Amino acid sequence: MENTKKDSLKRQFHLETKSPIFRQALDFCERVADSHANVLLTGESGCGKEIASRYIHACGRRHNQNFVAVNCSSFTETLLESELFGHEQGSFTGASKTHTGKFELSNHGTLFLDEIGDLSLTTQIKLLRALETKQIERIGSNRKREIDFQLICATNQDLPFKIKNREFREDFFYRISTIVIKIPSLRERKEDLPALIDFFFRKFQKENGIVINALDNTVKDFLFSYNYPGNIRELRNIIERMVILSQHGTVTKEALPILYNISTAAAENQKTFSSIIPWKEHKANSEKEYLLWVLDQLDGNVAEASRRLGISSRQIFNKIREYGLR
């Protein structure tokens, strides 16, 4: 692909970079774009795997066809099968009309399966068969439909470890990982922080009709020293918060993330006793703030929060109601 087109697409997807490690990852994306190979994108949550998948699609010969994205953690096993394969009217209770699945919608284009590590073993078998035969059948139908697409999967999990624990099929892993590309975390490419910070400030000022004229030194120090465990998604959320909570065109330390404010307040009050409250109240406050922060980093994805926190989705919903969270 010619350099002018690559540069144009990088600007379109905001992938211009000064980081050698990220530049190499993008080079791999460009090289695989015109192939029929299945691609597995790995990397931490929020590091930009879906953007990378869209970049692969845009760089390749299928760029004029559909790009279809599915988050595998957003569906139950039964619903995911219907979402991917489609179903015929009346094939099960609630199937009031025919539904075209994502396999068919992505025909001749690109299918992106995010959070592939959350697939059940049963679903993995069904997907493996479809990928091997390049044919699918809608639920409730015996008619085979030919499919042809480039498959791109993404995960933030250690799939070889899951294979050892028999939570992920080895044959399915090899089928989806012809090419593996690691997308670096934001802390691994801090050279890009200035441009990303500037981009998100401009974006959210425009969206909210707010003009920012100044940042407190505390805010500047935070933005350039913080490690961003939630990666670009967290940076985006932080700056949106800063813009919205700014006063008279200035972002002050009061607009910093909740956990930063908690740790700062704890340090400032380390040797005072005026803020002592009952242990039960402190525990509830801390739990509320932490749950709010986790959901913020995961864009409100309760299923992913459940997996990360090691508690059930029902428990999370109960906490959301208990603390009056949105």
Percentage of the chain lying above the pLDDT 70 cut = 91
Model confidence band, residue 267 (pLDDT cutoffs 50, 70, 90):
very low
Mean pLDDT of the chain: 89
Q: Regarding beta strands 145-146 and 135-136, do their DSSP bridges make them parallel or antiparallel, or are they unpaired?
A: antiparallel
The answer, yes or no, to whether residue 268 has pLDDT greater than 50, is no
Q: Exposed, middle or buried: residue 324 (CB in 10 Å: 0-12, 13-18, 19+)?
A: exposed
| Domains annotated on the chain, with CATH | 3-184 (3.40.50.300), 189-323 (1.10.8.60)
What does the pLDDT look like over 168-193, one tens digit per residue? 999 999 999 999 999 999 999 999 99
Percentage of the chain lying above the pLDDT 90 cut = 65
What does the pLDDT look like over 123-151, one tens digit per residue? 999 999 999 999 999 988 889 999 999 99
The answer, yes or no, to whether residue 263 has pLDDT greater than 50, is no
Q: What is the pTM of this model?
A: 0.79
In the structure encoding, which two tokens stand for residue 84, read together? 């991917």
Q: Exposed, middle or buried: residue 188 (CB in 10 Å: 0-12, 13-18, 19+)?
A: middle
Tell me, what's the pLDDT at 299? Answer: 79
Tell me, what's the pLDDT at 282? Answer: 65
Mean pLDDT of 292-310: 83
